[in-house]
Amino acid sequence: MKAMMFKKVGTPLQMMEVPTPVPGPDQLLIQVHACGICRTDLHIIDGELPNPKLPLILGHEIVGTIMAKGQNVNDFTLGDRVGIPWLASTCSQCKFCLEGKENLCADALYTGYTVDGGFAEFCLANPDYVFPIPDKFDDLQAAPLLCAGLIGFRSYRKIKQTKNIGFYGFGSSAHILIQIARQEGKNIYVFSRPGQKKPQDLAVKLGAVWIGDSTQLPPIPLDAAIIFAPAGELIPAALKAIDKGGSVICAGIHMSDIPAFPYHLLWGERSLASIANLTRLDGLEFMDMAKKTVIETTITSYPLEKANEALKDVREGRIAGTAVLDLRTTPS
């Protein structure tokens, strides 16, 4: 099969011919139709997430069909369309797994990081960690749901009872979450880097009530804020923007160092929390909600061989929404 291989931190991916994986007794073989690109992929390439499997096939927003299954897999049919997320497997035995907090499992494996992912024509998956895709989404539209949607959903559940919410960064996750939040009557205030016209235009189109940059304060104190951008300096900025009793949620897996800030920014029962990965229940509940909610993902598609170009466009903020690799166009 064709795959874009990551071999060394800081170097571009290489298109290679590699053996098509063979499923073990408890695995599925998935033919990849689409794979979204996430900022986490850049964190891996840049060495900001330590100890990736090398060489590695990146990609953890995967949509495809089941082409083969191991002898112990009974719950799926060949030809089923499924989605593969970031969380690839867990130990199922530690205290976190037993308490339904498998997202915190110390022995978890991660798609496109510690196991091969979807920047390839085929990949393997643990059947316990794949999700059905609602029929109303085509392959390319569905790909961003598998991480951007799921992480946004998990972040949002922590502040769902609030009314006025700030989004710091308006990329893949934010453009999905704003649609859910607006349909539930929330007011969304977007903080975006100057010059990122396409994301800002999309934020306006999707109903943001205010757009500024992180050096500005919103016109009213916010009830909560979600930080999607991997910039530690946004934490003090967000704490300044929220009212007493408000929450700041850090949605990314990596963030630059947080600068010192005075205690009075946290005082007043403000809270600060991070989001770590996802659980299977998150995935099932989110996909069920996606069936019933109007969500239109904005995508820019690239063929597999242009994965490096897509990654560069994501890094430089040149696209609105999500970059998605379209494996349906991969040349034979």
Q: Where are the domains of the chain?
A: 2-147+278-329, 159-274
Give the count of beta carbons closer than 10 Å to the beta carbon of residue 96: 18
Strand arrangement, sheet containing 14-17: 14-17, 2-6, 56-57
Give the count of beta carbons closer than 10 Å to the beta carbon of residue 160: 14
Taking the C-alpha atoms of residue 63 and residue 186, their distance in angstroms, rounded to an integer, is 30
- pLDDT digits (tens), the chain, 332 positions: 999 999 999 899 999 999 999 999 999 999 999 999 999 999 999 999 999 999 999 999 999 999 999 999 998 999 999 999 999 999 999 999 999 999 999 999 999 999 999 999 999 999 999 999 999 999 999 999 999 999 999 999 999 899 999 999 999 999 999 999 999 999 999 999 877 788 899 999 999 999 999 889 999 999 999 999 999 999 999 999 999 999 999 999 999 999 999 999 999 999 999 999 999 999 999 999 999 999 999 999 999 999 999 999 999 989 999 999 999 976 55
Do 228 and 252 form a contact (C-beta atoms < 8 A)? Answer: yes
CATH topology of domain 2-147+278-329: Quinone Oxidoreductase; Chain A, domain 1 (3.90.180)
Taking the C-alpha atoms of residue 59 and residue 97, their distance in angstroms, rounded to an integer, is 24
Report pLDDT for 330: 62
Instruction: Output the CA–CA distances (angstroms, integers) from residue 161 to 157, 183, 204, 239, in the order listed.
Output: 8, 14, 23, 18
Residue 166: strand pairing partners = 189, 225
Taking the C-alpha atoms of residue 21 and residue 49, their distance in angstroms, rounded to an integer, is 25
How long a stretch of residues is the chain?
332
Which two structure tokens, joined as six digits, stand for 130? Answer: 């794949």
- Pick from 142, 138, 161, 146: nearest CA to 112: 146
Report pLDDT for 194: 79
Which two structure tokens, joined as six digits, stand for 174? Answer: 């934010």
Report pLDDT for 167: 98
81 backbone dihedrals φ, ψ, rounded to 5°: -95, 130
Report pLDDT for 193: 84
Which two structure tokens, joined as six digits, stand for 287? Answer: 């996909």
Do 33 and 64 form a contact (C-beta atoms < 8 A)? Answer: yes
Residues 6+ apart with CB under 8 A from 171: 39, 148, 199, 228, 229, 314, 317, 321, 322
CATH classification number, 159-274, choose in 3.40.50.2000, 3.30.1280.10, 1.10.290.10, 3.40.50.720? 3.40.50.720
- Pick from 180, 198, 207: nearest CA to 190: 207
Taking the C-alpha atoms of residue 139 and residue 298, their distance in angstroms, rounded to an integer, is 13
Taking the C-alpha atoms of residue 112 and residue 102, their distance in angstroms, rounded to an integer, is 18
Residue 15: strand pairing partners = 4
Residues 6+ apart with CB under 8 A from 170: 190, 192, 196, 199, 200, 202, 203, 208, 228
Q: Tell me the chain's radius of gyration from C-alpha atoms.
A: 19
